[in-house]
Amino acid sequence: MELEEQQIVIKWRSLGELKEKLRSILGELESSTEGKNAVEPPPATSEIVADEVRKLGLGEFSEAMLAVLRDSHRGRSKAVAATDLAQEMKQRYPSLLRRKDLGQIAHGTIFPGKKLADSGLIHMDKVEYKEYPGQYYRRYWIEN
């Protein structure tokens, strides 16, 4: 497959943000040239999830997050920490998150939790670490 020459404009505020955007672009290029050898189920468990996510202007990552929460984390008693959710997402959708480590997924800017929470699709709160007073982690869940 030959790629035609194209230009891309990247706006960034920090070197870390630029690196993340470049990794994302390179990952998309690689996945588009790999062919169809690695087959993975689509992130959404239903068309309803995909529609809800698209209406917010979000993509596959949000779809995957919402699908995992709906399948395994219904109710506040089953809330999941951001790092554990990232691990579940990476296990379920390995090609979607193949270039990300768990710390990048859970604590980076790629977690779409705020938009999904603001829309009412998921719930999110911050919990203080018992071992590290003043430090917090995020928990996510779906209401029944």
> Which residue has 């672009």 as its token pair?
25
DSSP-derived letter for residue 4 is P
Q: Identify residue 90 by its one-letter amino acid code.
A: K
Assess if residue 112 is contained within a domain. Answer: yes
- For residue range 62-88, what is the model confidence (pLDDT) as tens digits? 888 888 898 899 999 999 988 888 888
Are 121 and 65 within 8 A, CB to CB? no
Residue 32 makes CB contacts below 8 A (sequence gap 6+) with none
Q: Does some domain include residue 23?
A: no
On whether residue 10 sits in a domain, the answer given is: no
In a domain, 9, yes or no: no
Q: How far is CA 97 from the centre of its chain?
A: 8
Side chain identity, residue 104:
Q
Tell me if 93 is assigned to some domain: yes
Mean pLDDT of 121-140: 89
Instruction: Indicate the range of 75-79, 95-99, 131-135 predicted with least confidence.
Output: 95-99
The residues, ordered by sequence, that sit 6+ positions from 111 with a Cβ below 8 Å of its Cβ are: 65, 82, 86, 105, 138
d(CA 139, CA 63): 17
* Domain assignment present for 79: yes
Task: Supply the range of the domain harboring residue 80.
Answer: 39-141
Q: What is the CATH number of the domain that holds 101?
A: 1.10.10
Residues 1-47: tens digit of each pLDDT: 555 667 777 777 777 777 777 777 776 666 555 554 444 444 444 45
Higher pLDDT, 139 or 102: 139
Say how many domains are in the chain.
1
Instruction: Tell me, yes or no, whether 90 lies in a domain.
Output: yes
Q: What is the pLDDT of residue 129?
A: 87
The reply to whether 22 falls in a domain is: no
Nearest to 109 by CA among 30, 14, 44: 14
